[in-house]
Amino acid sequence: MLLKKYRENKEALKQIGREALAESRRMGLSISAKDKQNEAKDRSTTECKDRVPATVR
């Protein structure tokens, strides 16, 4: 039960961070190198999950 809540909270915090970065970009604020690195890492992870595996013949 606690582990499930932890995972939900972790995902919620990640979403808040994504929204904060998007808002910072809209406002024209600078983004730190660490934030850019984390964003790229998150994007690559998400892309891997979204891809449909190729069918093997």
Phi and psi torsions of 51, nearest 5°: -70, 145
In sequence order, the 6+-apart residues with CB closer than 8 A to the CB of 45 are none
Q: What is the pTM of this model?
A: 0.62
pLDDT at 52: 59
Evaluate if residue 12 carries a pLDDT over 60: yes
pLDDT at 43: 83
* Cβ neighbours, 10 Å, residue 38: 15
Q: Which residue has the higher pLDDT, 22 or 43?
A: 22
In sequence order, the 6+-apart residues with CB closer than 8 A to the CB of 35 are 21
Q: CA–CA separation, 47 vs 41, rounded Å?
A: 10
Evaluate if residue 39 carries a pLDDT over 60: yes
Confidence of residue 24 (pLDDT cuts 50, 70, 90): very high
